[in-house]
Amino acid sequence: MVIGCGQCGGRIADQFALLGKNARRQRGISIVSNVLAVNTDIADLSGLVHIKADYKHRILIGSRKTSGHGVGKLNELGAQLAREDGDKILDSIRETRLLQDTDAFLLIAGASGGTGSGAIAVLTKMIKERFVDKPVYNMIVLPFNYEETTEERTIYNVGTCLKSAYGVADAVILADNQRYVRDASSISDNFSKINYRFVEPFYNILSAGEETNPRYIGSKVLDAGDIIQTLSGWTVIGHSKIASSFLPFRLDFRGKHAETQKGAQAMEDAIAELSLKCRPEDARRALYLLSAHPNKMSIDIIKELSATLRDNAKHAIIRSGDYPRGDNMGVTVIMSEISSPKKVMDYFDRTIRFISLDKRLSQGFNVEDAFGSIPSLLD
């Protein structure tokens, strides 16, 4: 179940709603049990397209205090309003027809805003307390570089949001806006392309374990259990596609070798496309899914993918699966339990400076050091 908080979270959740519709239409399966958007701003909720338009799915919080006009980047206010009106979200979750079939919750927010940045950890905590048997994950979107220099509160919001989310969510998937920015295009064009890039890797990962047609069931099915076992702590996700226009079983040895090489290349590309730049060797858990046309699945490619991932994520427990569906060969990779990702540590460092504790941070700086100094939005 996907819950978007604030404008950024709501728009990305909207993209998940579209993904759910596509899975039903194209594959006849259900991969998303419900999609909700939570906001303090009526206009943001009105701009969504795919999330159902009723008040149980587009949930306005804090309307008495903000008159439906947002919290103006004050994430403490976002957190407070989520605490006061959180029951509305819990009610909508409880009324979800497919609640029993929900394997996990995914809450999404932009770290630098007010509503989503403040609400995400508070709602995560409430949902975890109410639905104790289901993991609750966060996807947190990091701002563009220019926002860090032009908007005063950006760093503080990001630091407090990341700290609060890490303290309560079962995993925090980091997605960096700056990764996919294309200077030449407009901001709105950028946003829709970036949102697509963030959500696309989930399509096959969520589909593989829900597949019902025997023709498309892999030899090694990657299901919700594998994903849940993989997701922990700081996490990133990436995806790559390779057009494959021939059948490997009819190839001569040179063609076969080239096809196998494509497997290694696809894995390298997926790692290069991870949602936040990080060091794969810092991951303690990893997962990959190979999707390809049933006729193009080959054991050699799977071996090559495994070897390439092992070379990169040297210290990780690796899980994998294959999904024989689709015309293009695609590789989705998740790296999880990443120790002290550099960009996150930089945010903690700069947040501490921002709140003028003026503590010089030495080389051995780690999450625990930073946590002591940064205020939590959960208190």
Ligand X SMILES: Nc1nc2c(ncn2[C@@H]2O[C@H](COP(=O)(O)OP(=O)(O)OP(=O)(O)O)[C@@H](O)[C@H]2O)c(=O)[nH]1
Question: Where on the chain is the footprint of ligand X (CB under 6 A)?
Answer: 6-8, 11, 40-41, 44, 70-73, 110, 112-117, 141, 143-144, 147, 177, 191, 194-195
Q: Which of 97, 142, 116, 102 is nearest to 41 (CA)?
A: 116
| Residue ranges at the known binding site | 7-11, 114-116, 147, 177, 195
Please, what is the minimum distance in Å from the beta carbon of residue 112 to ligand X?
A: 4
With 0-12 / 13-18 / 19 or more C-beta atoms within 10 angstroms meaning exposed / middle / buried, residue 52 is middle
Q: Of 121, 95, 81, nearest to 36 (Cα)?
A: 95
Contact indicator for 28, 215 with CB cutoff of 8 Å: no
3-state helix, strand, coil in the chain (%, to 5): 50, 20, 30
| Residue number with CB closer to ligand X (32 or 82) | 82
Min separation Cβ 15 and ligand X, Å: 9
Least distance between ligand X and beta carbon 193 (Å):
9
DSSP string, 175-233: EEGGGG--TTS-HHHHHHHHHHHHHTTHHHHHHHTT---GGG--SS---HHHHHHH--E
- Nearest approach in angstroms of CB 52 to ligand X is 19
Which CB, 82 or 333, lies closer to ligand X? 82
Minimum separation from the CB atom of position 123 to ligand X (A) = 12
With respect to ligand X, which residue has the nearer C-beta, 70 or 248?
A: 70
Comparing CA positions, the residue from 288, 294, 237, 295 lying closest to residue 264 is 288
The answer to whether residues 333 and 270 touch, using CB atoms and an 8 Å cutoff, is: yes
β-bridge pairing 329-338 and 233-242: antiparallel
Identity of the residue, 157 or 244, whose beta carbon is nearer to ligand X in the bound complex: 157
Alpha-carbon distance of 223 to 363, in angstroms, equals 40
Binding residues for GTP, as ranges, are 7-11, 114-116, 147, 177, 195
| Minimum CB distance to ligand X smaller for 191 or for 365 | 191
Sign of CA dihedral 363, 367, 369, 373: positive
Measured from the CB atom, the residue of 114 and 263 that comes closer to ligand X is 114
Residues contacting residue 187 through CB under 8 Å, at least 6 positions apart: none
Minimum separation from the CB atom of position 117 to ligand X (A): 6
CB of 158 to ligand X, least distance (A): 8
Q: How far apart are CA 190 and CA 185, in angstroms?
A: 6
Beta carbons within 10 angstroms of residue 11's beta carbon: 23
Return d(Cα 33, Cα 97) in angstroms, integer: 8
Q: Which is nearer to ligand X, 235 or 260 (CB)?
A: 235
Beta carbon nearer to ligand X, 72 or 375: 72
- What is the closest distance, in whole angstroms, from the C-beta atom of residue 70 to ligand X in the complex? 3
Roughly what angle, to the nearest 10 degrees, separates helices 115-130 and 75-94? 40
